[in-house]
Amino acid sequence: MKIYIDGEYFEKQDAKVSVFDHGLLYGDGVFEGIRVYGGKIFKREEHIDRLWDSAKAIWLDIPMTKEKMVEDMEQTVALNEIKDGYIRLVVTRGIGDLGLDPAKCKTPSVIIIATGISLYPPEMYEKGLEIVTVNTPRNHPAAVSPRIKSLNYLSSILAKIEGKQAGCAEVLMLNNRGEIAECSADNVFLVRKGRLLTPPPDAGILEGVTRNCVIDLAREAGIEVMEIPLTKYDAYVADECFLTGSAAEVIPVVKIDGRSIGNGKPGPITKQLKELFVKLTQS
C-alpha cells in the first residue's frame, strides 16, 4: 500500500506523522471519506468543496489547489490499483508544539489513503440493521458546527461504544432539542406514507454527499422529499428507515429501540433508492 503524505509516498509501515502534529494532539484538522467505483472517484467535486468549506470554517489554509489535490488523489488510487474502494483524505493543522496556539503550526499536512472498505457485513444490506438511540448527543451546533467534518469524532465514538454494548452496529443520535440528528457516521432517512423524510441541516447534521445524492435520486423518481425536524416517535411509526454515507452507501434499518419498522423488512422505497444509487455508481 502506498500512502501519500505531503507530496511523498510511503509504504504503510513507514507512513508516519509527528507526535507534535495538532491533528494528533488536538483533533485539529478536517477530512473526507470518498468512494471509488470502477477506478473513478465518486462525487469528487462535492467532496473537495466540502473539505475546503470545513477547512475555511476552522481557519485552516489547505496548502494546495483543488486541482492539485484531485490529481494527487487520482495518482494514489492508481498506484494502489484501486478499482472499487475508499479514499481517506486528511488535512491537519500540521506540526506545532504542546500549546494550543495554531499560529505555531507553520505548514498544514495532507494525507491521502486509498484502500478497500467494508463497513457492514453483506447480509445487513439484505436483511437490514437494528439500531438504538444513545444518550450521547450530537455536538451542539453553537459550539463546533456538526457541518464541519473535523478530525474530532469523540462524540461519535462514545455513541458507537454505547451501540456496541447494546449489540448494535449503528446508533441514533439526538440533538440538543431532543430531535433526531443522525447516526454515529451516517445520515438517516424515514419513509412515511410514501414521503421521504430526513432531518434538515439545522438539526445538527453533517450534510452527507451520499445523503444529497439520494435526495436528488428520490426527487427525480417522483418521490416527495421533506427535510423537517423529526423525533423518535416519527422513527417508531415510520414505514421504512434507511441510512446513507460514503462508506455505508444505502443500508436499510428494520428495528429501532426494539421496535420493528414497518413489517420488519427493508421496504420498497428503500430498495428502489438503493438500486438507483448502485446504478449511479456504475454509470
> What CATH number has the domain bearing residue 271?
3.20.10.10
Q: Provide the pLDDT for residue 79.
A: 97
Task: Tell me, yes or no, whether 127 and 255 share the same domain.
Answer: yes
Give the lowest-confidence range in 8-22, 59-73, 138-152, 153-167. 138-152
**Distance between CA atoms of residues 41 and 84, nearest Å:** 9
List 68, 104, 127, 149, catalytic entry: 149
Note if 56 is an active site residue: no
CB 229 within 8 A of CB 200: yes
Sign of CA dihedral 240, 198, 256, 162: positive
CB 127 within 8 A of CB 47: no
Q: Which domain holds residue 152?
A: 122-282
**Distance between CA atoms of residues 48 and 66, nearest Å:** 7
- The structure's pTM equals 0.95
Per-residue pLDDT band for 96 (boundaries 50, 70, 90) equals very high
* Phi/psi at 189 (5° precision): -130, 145
Task: Tell me, yes or no, whether 70 and 96 share the same domain.
Answer: yes
Paired with 244 in beta bridges are 187, 250
Last residue of some domain: 98, 115, 132?
Answer: 115
Last residue of some domain: 115, 134, 162?
Answer: 115
Radius of gyration of the chain (CA): 19
Averaged pLDDT, 238-264: 97
Task: Tell me, yes or no, whether 76 and 157 share the same domain.
Answer: no
E strands in the chain: 2-5, 8-11, 29-37, 40-41, 85-92, 109-115, 129-133, 170-174, 180-183, 187-192, 195-198, 225-227, 240-245, 249-256, 259-260
Mean per-residue pLDDT of the chain: 97
Per-residue pLDDT band for 176 (boundaries 50, 70, 90) equals very high
Q: Provide the pLDDT for residue 119.
A: 82
Per-residue pLDDT band for 174 (boundaries 50, 70, 90) equals very high
